[in-house]
């Protein structure tokens, strides 16, 4: 099995991939102050929680959008696997034709999710990644990455609304019944959940107009996708392991000694 790790600004998500699927997915809070030993110990505890056999973990792959933690997690993973992990980034073969102004600037998370989508789903494809930021990536008919849109994430927006206003409370996710809230909490839930769902529907429509074609697939991933996607009008596939599937594809393209 391969230890797959996605380092995000809010959470570090990781699991063990058996080359067909992730056997489990776990999350740790991103803490820039922790050392490699602390992260390693925490990962070992979680691996034990999921009853993962360390002897079965032969290597690791890492995707990171937090540069100051990349080397820290790399050292933590090396302590667990006794191997130097593959870190997705410039110089690593991904098989993706990246058609943006500076391909080297494309985040590793977007690379992995795009590779996963291009291999798993009919094209053209829109990939909705609902994490710290909400990102919509566009993969064309031939598997080329054309670009993306980036907007504040659902949780960032929710926290900004609560923290920046005196009368609006902190909010928890719940199922909004209507778009017209009859009290403060219901109104905020309607705006956050239904508002973000409507934004995703609208952005997908605008992107399709620019492409002059309809997306064959729209797939969603990320920490809050399951909270928002059910309220979208579009037919959207939820795929929480998309980034790990793409990471494994990239791993296999670069590590010739397939363990």
The rounded Cα 10 to chain-centroid distance in angstroms is: 11
Of 112-126, 150-164, 229-243, give the lowest mean pLDDT range: 150-164
pLDDT of residue 257: 55
Looking at the structure, do residues 125 and 11 belong to the same domain, yes or no?
no
Q: What is the pLDDT of residue 201?
A: 98
Domain count, the chain: 2
pLDDT at 186 > cutoff 90: no
Q: Mean per-residue pLDDT for 115-133?
A: 96
Closest CA to 7 of 57, 54, 74, 101: 74
Around Cβ 193, how many Cβ atoms within 10 Å?
Answer: 23
144 within some domain: yes
**Residue 211 pLDDT greater than 60, yes or no:** yes
- Report residue 195: phi and psi, to 5°: -65, -45
Q: How confident is the model at residue 169 (pLDDT cuts 50, 70, 90)?
A: low
The C-alpha atoms of residue 256 and residue 80 are separated, in whole angstroms, by 21
Question: Per residue, what are the HEC states of 133-183?
Answer: EEEEEEECCCCEEEEEEEEECHHHHHHHHHHCCCCCCCCCCCCCCCCCCCC
pLDDT of residue 189: 84
Residues 106 and 207 in one domain: yes
- Inside any domain, residue 6: yes
Of 6, 59, 109, 239, the active-site residue reads: 109
User: If you ran DSSP here, which 8-state letter would residue 95 be given?
Assistant: -
Indicate the residue among 52, 87, 122 that finishes a domain: 87
Kindly state whether residues 26 and 63 are assigned to the same domain: yes
Domain that holds residue 149: 97-245
C-alpha count within 13 angstroms, C-beta hemisphere, residue 196: 30
Question: Residue 83: which of 259, 249, 252 has the closest Cα?
Answer: 259
Out of 62, 87, 112, a domain closes at 87
Same domain, 58 and 107: no
- pLDDT tens track for 44-84: 999 999 998 998 999 999 999 999 999 999 999 999 999 99
Task: Kindly state the tokens that stand for 100.
Answer: 């943006």
Question: Is 80 exceeded by the pLDDT of residue 207?
Answer: yes
259 pLDDT exceeds 50? no
pLDDT of res. 176: 83
Interatomic CA distance for residues 148 and 127, integer angstroms:
9
Same domain flag for 62 and 125: no
Averaged pLDDT for residues 21-47 = 94
In total, the chain counts a number of residues equal to 259
| pLDDT higher than threshold 80 for residue 165 | no
Say if 212 falls within a structural domain. Answer: yes
Task: Write the CATH number for 20.
Answer: 3.30.420.40
109 given a catalytic annotation: yes
Per-residue pLDDT band for 146 (boundaries 50, 70, 90) equals: very high
């Amino acid at each position: 099995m391969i230890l797959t790790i996605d380092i995000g600004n809010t959470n570090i998500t990781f699991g063990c991939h058996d080359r067909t699927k992730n056997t489990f997915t776990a999350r740790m809070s991103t803490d820039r102050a922790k050392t490699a030993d602390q992260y390693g110990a925490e990962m070992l505890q979680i691996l034990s929680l999921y009853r993962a056999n360390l002897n079965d973990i032969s290597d690791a792959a890492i995707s990171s959008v937090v540069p100051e933690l990349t080397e820290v997690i790399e050292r933590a993973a090396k302590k667990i696997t006794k191997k130097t992990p593959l870190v997705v980034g410039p110089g690593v073969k991904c098989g993706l034709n990246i058609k943006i102004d500076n391909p080297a600037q494309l985040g590793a998370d977007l690379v992995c999710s795009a590779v996963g989508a291009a291999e798993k789903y009919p094209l053209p494809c829109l990939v909705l990644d609902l994490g710290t930021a909400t990102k919509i990536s566009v993969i064309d008919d031939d598997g080329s990455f054309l670009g993306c849109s980036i907007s504040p994430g659902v949780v960032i927006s929710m926290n900004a609304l609560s923290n920046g206003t005196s009368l609006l409370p902190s909010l928890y996710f719940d199922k909004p019944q209507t778009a017209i809230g009859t009290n403060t909490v219901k109104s905020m839930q309607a705006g956050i959940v239904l508002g973000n769902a409507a934004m995703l529907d609208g952005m997908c429509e605008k992107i399709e107009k620019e492409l002059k074609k309809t997306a064959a697939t729209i797939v969603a991933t990320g920490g809050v996708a399951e909270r928002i996607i059910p309220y979208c009008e579009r037919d959207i596939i939820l795929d929480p392991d998309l980034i790990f599937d793409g990471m494994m594809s990239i791993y296999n393209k670069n590590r010739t000694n397939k363990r």
